[in-house]
Every structure is written in C-alpha cells, then in structure tokens.
Amino acid sequence: MTEYWVEPLGLLHGRAAAIAVAADLALPLAGGPGAFTMVRLLGEGAPEGALALADVPDGWQDRVLALTRAPSAFAGLELPHEGGRPLVMGILNITPDSFSDGGHFADHANAVDAGHMLLEAGADLLDIGGESTRPGAQPVAPEEECRRILPVIRELAKAATISVDTRNAATMLAALEAGAEIVNDVTALRHDPAAARVLSRSEASVILMHMLGDDPRTMQQDPRYGDVALEVAQFLADRVAAVERMGIPRGRLAIDPGIGFGKRLPHNLALMERLPLLAGIGCPIVFGASRKRFIGELSGVEAPVDRVAGSVAAALHAASHGAAIIRVHDVAETVQALAVWNAVSAGGVEDEDA
C-alpha cells in the first residue's frame, strides 16, 4: 500500500513548460508536454503546503521523479499522440439503455457505420460496450452482451484498435478472440473472478477504473469520501499492484479515476482538479467525462446530447492535467479543440510563407 504521495502543482504546458524544464525550474509531468513547478507532499510527517522542487526533502526525490516518467505505448499506440496531445477514444455503445446514446446503434450495420464515422472524425481507437453501466443500470448476461458487440468488433477491428467495455470474463475472452486488444473494466477486475485468468493468458491491455463499490445499481447511493483524490489514487495504486500479482504486467495497464461512478459533483470536480496526482502510479491516465451528469449540473443542460461544449471543456482540462487517453462521444469536436489548444500552447505553427 502506498502511504505517501507527491502531488504536482504549478502546472505549465507546451512552450512555457519546455522553457521552464530547460531552465531547471520545472519537471515534465508524465513525460510531457506538461510540467510542474511545485509539489505538495502527502503522508504522515510530510511538511505542509506547497514546496518548490529545490526544497523537496531527502527521501522524497524518487517519488517526485516517478511523476516525470512517460508511460510506455498502450496497446501498441504511442503516448502522447501527435504533437503531444492525448489519444482520443471514441465511444460506441450498443445498448438500449446507455445514458446518452442508448438504442441508437442496436442494428449491427448501423453500429459499424457509426464506428467508421468516429474513426473518420479522428478517433485513435474505439471503446465498444454492450452493457450500460450508468447509475442504476440493470446487469446484462454475457450471452446477450456478446450478441450485441461481437459482430461489430469483428468488423471494426479490421480498421482500428478496439477496446471492449465489459466487466464479464466470458465477454472479455470472446471480444479478444474477435479482435479487441484492450479490456476496459469499470470494476477494475473486481466483478468477475475469472477475468484475471483470462487476461493473464492474453496479450491484452487493460483499463482499471475506480468505482465506489462494484455495482452500478448502487454506486450513487450516498457516496462519501474523506479525501476523494487520495482515496481514488490509493485504490488505483492498490488495484495495479493486485493485478500485477495476478500475472498482468504494469506495462499493459492504464488507470481511470471513474468520473461519475460513485461520485457527486464536488467529488468529480476535485478529481479533475487533482488529476496529476495519478501520474505517480506510473500508468497512462484515461479520462472519461463525456456528456456526464455533472456537466448538466454545472450548466443547466438536461439532455446529455446537448452537453458537447461542456464535454470538450472537460477534455481540454484533462489534456492539460496529464491525461493520456480521452474517452468521448463527440470525437470531431474534441479532436478539433485539442488541435487548436495544442498549437496555441506550443507557441504556434511554422508559417510557410514567412
């Protein structure tokens, strides 16, 4: 169990980060292009408040350096992507009851067409799910889950890296055989005892997400935390260690703080603001806030499909706070926003006519 944490503060990005790192005034965050200029040490006996990097006491330097290491490629995809931006993961829910797009792609041909549209819009990979995990959702039998997703995975795996969004071992195995390369489990391999055995015998990459409890039906029933960011970070660090003991190496793992999964608005905002804390675990950070309820709470927009602008704002925040993969419904809008944000923070682009 990790009892001590280093939280990066004083974040910079792009050109400003590069200048500060070159001047030894900052360190790269998870390999860059972001950087941090201060830290807060968390744990028994740690000094209070923010510290300049030069003032970090003996015994903490290794933990500070852990924040700087770039994650290795994930499922064969280089991190970060072009120009330092995160990868964009397009969401394809083949369900009748997902909170945002349930029922839209029940027909396999329509789902395949929708997947190709996400790729044409700029998605780097696709996350395909056949069971809704929205708050209160009822479970789906693996047989039905497979019926929904396997034909779609088989077709889209010819064109892209595919992640399967499932917590069921039987579905994981069938999806991997159909061409998926990533398993995205909202329970961090806690739901199905057979999941670890299936994955340890494969070469699949795995996304471990934080959820309060392990049941979407009850996760929103009065969630409480002392320090949500620290508790989520500790949970994910513990799960990474446990999954490594199950035979799945850290180099195949990514972590997700689980925005909206057993969290109320203040919890979600605190996790987003303190996202860089997770860099100390040493795995790529996946961030998914697309169209979620907290955006509606902040903006007064009730329909999930109308929360695009808020979703893009959340994605840009995550990109500047260490996220390596952004999971979104609205791929074209997110890719466009990231391109502009990345160019501006990098100090512009070369003028061919200059």
Residue whose C-alpha is closest to residue 258's, from 291, 223, 211: 211
- 102/131: higher pLDDT: 131
**pLDDT tens digits along 34-55:** 999 999 999 988 999 999 999 9
Instruction: Encode pLDDT of 328-351 as tens digits.
Output: 999 999 999 999 998 988 775 555
Q: What is the mean pLDDT of the chain?
A: 93
One of 3.20.20.20, 3.40.190.80, 3.10.450.50, 3.40.50.720 is the CATH number of 87-345, namely 3.20.20.20
Domain boundaries, the chain: 5-67, 87-345
Q: What is the pLDDT of residues 138-158, one digit of tens each?
A: 889 999 999 999 999 999 999
Which of these ranges, 23-37, 96-110, 181-195, has the smallest mean pLDDT?
Answer: 96-110
Q: Can 190 be counted among the known catalytic residues?
A: no
pTM, to two decimals = 0.94
Mean pLDDT of 206-213: 94
* Active-site entry in 63, 292, 293, 307: 292
| 35-42 and 87-93 strand pairing | unpaired
State yes or no: is 201 an active-site residue. no
Give the pLDDT confidence of 274-328 residue by residue, as tens digits: 999 999 999 999 999 999 999 999 999 999 999 999 999 999 999 999 999 999 9
The pair of three-digit structure tokens given for residue 1, joined into one six-digit string: 């169990």
Do residues 305 and 291 lie in contact, with contact meaning Cβ atoms separated by under 8 Å?
Answer: yes
If one compares 350 and 171, the residue with the highest pLDDT of the two is 171
Confidence bin at 102 (pLDDT 50/70/90): very low
Amino acid found at 263: K
The greatest distance separating any two alpha carbons of the chain, rounded to the nearest whole angstrom, comes to 61
Contacts of 54 (CB under 8 A, 6+ apart): none
